[in-house]
Every structure is written in C-alpha cells, then in structure tokens.
Amino acid sequence: MLLHIPGPVSMAEEKQVRPSLWKYRYSLFALALFGILCFYQISVVILLRKPHQHSERPFSGSKLYNPYIDWKETKGEKISLHAHSDEVWFTPERHTVKEIISEYHKQGFSNLAITDYGQITETEDPNFIRGMEWGQNVKKRHILAIGIQKTFYDYFPIYASRENLNWVMDRMKQLGAYVILPHPKLHDSYSKEEMVALEGFQAVEVYSPFGDDTKVLDTLLSQGKPVHCMASDDLHYFPESIVKTFDQPIWKDMIQTLGNQRGRKGESFQRYIVTKNGTKDQASVLQALHAGSFYCVKKYFQGAEDPTVPKIQVEGNGKIQVDSNERYLEIRFIGRMGEVLQISPDTNAATYQMSEKDPYVRVELIALTGSILSNAIYRTE
C-alpha cells in the first residue's frame, strides 16, 4: 500500500474555502453578541435576587392605625411625584425641568418630583423632591423611587423575575427611597397575583393616565400588605395650549410634530396626592409617604376646581369620623376585598363603626369635580 501525502494547498483552493465562512461573518458576530447577552442576562437573573420571605395574613390586633391622626384641617399641599423631562438623552423632545416646575406651580402644586428613566434630576431648590424611574424593558415593568439618594444600573434590560424585582426594590430602600409600582395596567406590566407575590414596594398607582384601578388596592390590603394608594399624571407632554407658550428650539418642535406629540390634550394636573398643610419639602413629604399620611386625588377634567380633602378621626372603639368643608355626592367606606360597607350620600360628614370582622377600612369620597381616596385605617398589634 502506498502512503498518500497531501501536497500543499494552492492559493486557488484557499480562496474557495475562505469565502464560504467569510460571507457569514455578520451573522456569526450577531450570534456571538446574542450569546453574550443571554449569558449575561441569565447570570444576573440567578445572582441578583431576593426570595419572598414574608407570609401575608389579614390585619389583626386590638389597636387601629390611623395615618391621618395629625391632620388638624382640610387644607393641604398638592404634590406630583411622577413626571418626565428632556434630561435623558433618548427623550430630548420633552419639556425642560424649568418648564415643568413652572407650569405645576401655576396650577397650585407645592412641589413635585422629576422621575426620569435611570437618573436623578438636580435643581437649585434644596426642597425639590428627588426621584427616578427604574426599568427600560419592553413590558413596562417599571419602579418609581422617590427620595432616592443615587441611581444604580438596570441589570435586567430583557427579563426580571419576581425575586429580581424584590432585589431591585430592596436596593432602592437601602438608598433611602419610597418605592412605588407605577401604571400596573399598562401592558399588564403587573398582575394582581404578581403584586401579591412581590415585596418591597410601599404604594401602587391606582390613579394613572394608563388606567385607573382602585380594586387592586383592596387585593393587596386584604392580604395584609400595608401598601398605600398613589395618583400621578405620569407626565410626558403638556397639552398644545401650554406648549405654544414655550420658547422651544425649532428642532424640538419638529420632533414633537413628527412624533405626533403635538396637539395631544394630555392629562396633566389631574392626578396627584395631597399632604397635610405645610408638608411640601422633600424631608416632610417622605415622612408623610412612609406614614401613609396623604390622599390620592383624581380630577375629572382639566381646569376643574380641586376637590377638598377631609379630616379623618378614629376613636378608640373603632368609630371612624369623616368631616370636610365640601359637600360630597357620596362618602363610601370600603372594606376587605373591596366590599362597600356603607355609603353616605349628599353630605360633608359621615361616621362608620368598625366591627371586629373589619381588618381595615378605607374611605372614598366622590365630589362634583373629582374623587378622593384615603389610605387604609387598619388593625395592628
């Protein structure tokens, strides 16, 4: 048998081999990047997580927690906690921080927070409320951090499990934030079941331009979660009547027009919270947020008069007394799983006697120009 020894590869043969792989170079490069991204995402999903540690049960105990115990009058401060500006590089067509602050002050707001994606806006006003919105994923699973001291990177650009979201919210609270789940109905970003399984958030937006839903509050409260309501404009653009008054550069006008942002009616100034009189700087607002000492308001249309918030007092025997300077269409007392316990029509005052079967009671007030939600009065040890 003769031993066959192959000769050297000619240049012609080499050229025939190389093009077959070279023409797929972009596909191979994209595949490599995709593999790296998948490896990164899987790694952080596994490593950055906080398991659910507490088992919720209905509120119980002989004492009652009233978040409005210090309110002495019905006058309060209007606060907006969710607005977006042009400070982020990918939203240059939005309004400036100065324009947003100016317009909200004209509408009687005492303070507000600019909550841009992934960054904290700084202003010269030391009382300005710091904030940011975390999350740039497609499903809109965002998280608001009010009063946070510094930002941190979004490690989950594609997917985040419940344990990952718990880790993010825990990190926010370590940085001094009051944590809010925004617009849960937008793209169904947070289902009721998922919110029950999550921990770390302190409020959920029940009044949002992307869907109003007060029932989600009862789902969480009935599980024993001491969460608060939240109401916000989630401001992206002012209506055309306001934008026309701005001295905007031509390029911004063009981008807004091409992006169909101009001419929108908008829902600015319609959803907000009210803290007690004098509570308007960042420190006192954060204290009120943590205590639940605020009301959530939704006005029915722009330009409407602000509905007046009430005083809520609770006696030792569980008697809840609601008083206001405004006469409401209805005062509703809401209990576990959203049960309407009592409706008092056409009045500025109402009383409800909590029974031993009531783990919590919250109040809804229907006025001529808007609706008002209280945070829960609940049993505690």
Which of the two residues, 381 and 372, has the higher pLDDT score? 372
Q: How far apart are the first and last CA of the chain?
A: 96
Domain boundaries in the chain? 72-300
Whole-model pTM: value is 0.90
Among residues 295, 317, 314, 315, the alpha carbon closest in space to that of 306 is found at 295
SS3 state of residue 20: helix
CB 171 within 8 A of CB 145: no
Is residue 329 predicted with pLDDT exceeding 90? yes
Report the chain's mean pLDDT, rounded to a whole number.
91
Q: Report, in angstroms and rounded to the nearest whole number, the Rg of the chain calculated over CA atoms.
A: 26
Is residue 202 predicted with pLDDT exceeding 80? yes
CB atoms within 10 A of CB 302: 14
Convert the pLDDT of each residue in 138-147 to its tens digit: 677 899 999 9
Q: What is the pLDDT of residue 1?
A: 46
Average pLDDT over residues 224-239: 96
Topology classification of domain 72-300: TIM Barrel (3.20.20)
Is residue 14 predicted with pLDDT exceeding 60? no
DSSP code string of 311-342 = EEEE-TTSEEEEEEEEEEEEEEEE-GGG-EEE
Q: How far apart are CA 200 and CA 361, in angstroms?
A: 22
Convert the pLDDT of each residue in 23-36 to its tens digit: 787 888 888 888 88
10 Å CB burial of residue 9 (0-12, 13-18, 19+) is exposed
Q: How far apart are CA 333 and CA 311, in angstroms?
A: 14
Q: How far apart are CA 232 and CA 242, in angstroms?
A: 19
Is residue 13 predicted with pLDDT exceeding 60? no
Give the pLDDT band (50/70/90) at residue 7.
Answer: low
Among residues 340, 359, 254, 60, the alpha carbon closest in space to that of 331 is found at 340
Give the pLDDT band (50/70/90) at residue 337.
Answer: very high
Give the pLDDT band (50/70/90) at residue 9.
Answer: low
Give the pLDDT band (50/70/90) at residue 262.
Answer: confident
C-alpha pair distances (Å), 201 with each of 159, 205, 329:
19, 11, 33
Is residue 6 predicted with pLDDT exceeding 70? no
Q: What is the pLDDT of residue 115?
A: 96
CB 328 within 8 A of CB 366: yes
CB 305 within 8 A of CB 323: no
Among residues 218, 363, 366, the alpha carbon closest in space to that of 298 is found at 366
Convert the pLDDT of each residue in 136-173 to its tens digit: 776 778 999 999 999 998 888 888 889 999 999 999 99
Show the DSSP H helices in the chain as ranges: 11-22, 25-47, 97-106, 162-174, 192-197, 215-221, 240-243, 250-258, 282-291
DSSP code string of 111-180 = EEB---BT-PPP-S-TTPBPEEEE---TT---EEEET-SS----S-SS---HHHHHHHHHHHHHTT-EEE
Could you give the percent of the chain with pLDDT greater than 90?
Answer: 72
Question: Which residue has tokens 């009010």?
Answer: 146
Average pLDDT over residues 59-66: 95
Give the pLDDT band (50/70/90) at residue 20.
Answer: low
Convert the pLDDT of each residue in 271-326 to its tens digit: 999 999 999 999 999 999 999 999 999 999 988 999 999 999 999 899 999 999 99
Q: What is the pLDDT of residue 8?
A: 60
Q: What is the pLDDT of residue 153?
A: 87
CB 268 within 8 A of CB 239: yes
CB 312 within 8 A of CB 293: no
